[in-house]
Structure 1
Amino acid sequence: MTELILIRHGETDWNRELRFQGHVDVPLNATGHEQARRLAERLAADRPTVHHLVCSDLVRTRQTAQPSLEVLFPQATIDTLTDSNLREQSFGVVDGMRVDDIKEQHADAWEKWLRFEADYGMPGGETTRQFHARVMDAVRRIALQHAGQTVMVVTHGGVLDMIWRTARGTGLDGPRQSDIPNAGFNRVRVDAATVEVLDWADVRHLADLPAQPVYDQKKLLVR
């Protein structure tokens, strides 16, 4: 089995604005950089055995991973350790938009989105089922390539949601059920057939930072 240390990228300004970031290349804000620094500081103190690091190719994940890479593999270059299959879900025409603007400009698509159906995607974007297949193909590949090792994976909230749903067997329909904080620690064990959650949403290293923006899909249903 392979152990994955899963990290959602640090905070961006668009997280604060609750925008659909998707594939848009948004950098970390000042809080996000501090979260990334705290993450690396924790790794330096705890010294977990990590054999490899991989991250999404988007800038917010690369910036989050860089301080940790300097602790774990100081001779490595982040641009050689990226995987585009670890990107966030593509939201097509609404990538980069705020919820209120989506409601106004794409009202029909928004109403369909709120059903949280596995086979629906925003126009021009991925369905949840397509996204899940992409993510889990990448996870299985990483686990196979690094069998018996520990890999740190820096990615996105939606990616972690797909992994959590797979581990819990909750299915792809319905709103997100798991907490996925920016720069939190999550650990899973993966083999060819199963994903097992070992630890989730550990933010002890971020305890005295400002409260994080929360994208709560369940609350969208009651607005």
Structure 2
Amino acid sequence: MVEIPTTRLTRICLVRHGETEWNAERRIQGQIDIGLNETGRRQAAAAGRWLKQAGIAALYSSDLKRAWTTAESIGAEIGLSPKAAPEMRERRYGVFEGLTYDEARARYPDGYGAFEGRNAEYAFENGESLTAMFARVTGKLEEIAAAHPGQSVAIVLHGGVLDVINRFVRGNPLEMPRDFLIPNAGINWISVVDGRWHLDTWGETEHLEPGALDELPS
């Protein structure tokens, strides 16, 4: 565990990447490197404009194209270049990647049941468990926080990553059914002080056109 400085509040803005065609098709992307569609590019620019006055001191991003392009668009608005954080990549969904949720359910009913039931140790075939993903994501989150005491930073990442960070910050188990939304290009603020994490705001979409897609399934 990274030791977090104890006296200065660090705020972290978590931004999900903009929409892709596979999001629109309800197709599982995982670590397949899909780019933004036109809606996603507009969403990325809108997120950047929204954060222009937020006092962001550093910008990090998953190195997958859909996140990196979103981060570049945000960076163009706030005057920062993104720093690559591969640890913030989406979960590896193995044989599920490239399939729609319905296709995955039909082809791999047992595995899909474990996935849908949030079995934290289930790693798909050639994939990654929630437990393993949680370790890599939260380790990097704590590292970023420790590097920026008293500052506000932004991280562009993915729906599955936001899912585990929400549970980490709130102290909820990975197996708990999701009770929050994860819209494309949604803005989420968390903070840490004295080693204690807080969820400040979640799922802000006021900067976006109506209809930002939620990460599925819940």
Q: What TM-score comes out, normalization by structure 2 length?
A: 0.90
Return the alpha-carbon distance in structure 2 between the equivalents of residues 122 and 163 of structure 1: 21
Specify whether residues 192 and 161 from structure 1 end up closer, same or farther in structure 2 by C-alpha distance, changes over 3 A only: farther
Q: How many residues align?
A: 210
Tell me which protein shows more helix as a share of its residues. Answer: 1
2:196 is aligned to: 194
8 Å CA contact 2:91–2:128 kept in 1: the answer is yes
**Which whole-Å CA distance do the structure 2 matches of 1:21 and 1:189 have between them?**
29
What secondary structure, in the 3-state scheme, does the structure 1 residue paired with 2:124 have?
coil
Q: 1:32-66 CA deviation, whole Å, 9 max, x = no partner? A: 0010111122233xx11111000000000111111
Kept in 2, the 8 Å contact 1:26–1:59? The answer is yes
* 1:48-91 Cα deviation digits (max 9, x unpaired): 111100000000011111122112225x3x4xx11110001111
1:43 corresponds in structure 2 to 51
Cα deviation for residue 191 of structure 1 reads 4.4
Q: What pairs with 1:134-153 in structure 2 (closer than 5 Å)?
A: 134-153=136-155
- 2:160 alignment partner, SS class: helix
Asked whether the 8 Å contact 1:140–1:190 carries over to 2, the reply is no
Query: In structure 2, what is the equivalent of residue 69 of structure 1?
Result: 75
Task: Give runs of aligned pairs for residues 21-60 of structure 1, distance below 5 A.
Answer: 21-44=29-52, 47-60=53-66
Task: Show the counterpart of 2:5.
Answer: none
Provide, for residues 98-136 of structure 1, a one-character-per-residue CA deviation record: whole Å limited to 9, x for no partner.
112212322221122222111112111111111111110
Q: 1:1-223 alignment to 2 at 5 Å?
A: 1-44=9-52, 47-73=53-79, 76=81, 78=82, 81-191=83-193, 193-206=195-208, 209-218=209-218
- Name the CA distance, whole Å, in 2 between partners of 1:21 and 1:41: 27
One-letter amino acid of the structure 2 residue matched with residue 19 of structure 1:
R
Q: Per-residue deviation at 1:192? A: 6.7
Which amino acid in the other structure matches residue 149 of structure 1? Q
Change (3 A) 1:191 1:89: farther
Superposed displacement of residue 14, structure 1: 0.7
Q: Is the 8 A contact 1:27 1:59 kept in 2?
A: yes
Code of the residue aligned with 2:175 in structure 1: it is D
Q: Which secondary structure state, in structure 2, belongs to the residue aligned with residue 217 of structure 1?
A: coil
CA change 1:214–1:50 in 2 (3 A) is closer
Shift of residue 158, structure 1, vs aligned partner = 1.1
Identity over the aligned pairs, expressed in percent? 35
**122-131 or 111-120: which moved more?**
111-120
Amino acid at match of 2:44: A
Runs of 5+ in structure 1 lacking a partner?
Answer: 219-223
8 Å contact from structure 1 (residues 140, 192) kept in 2: no
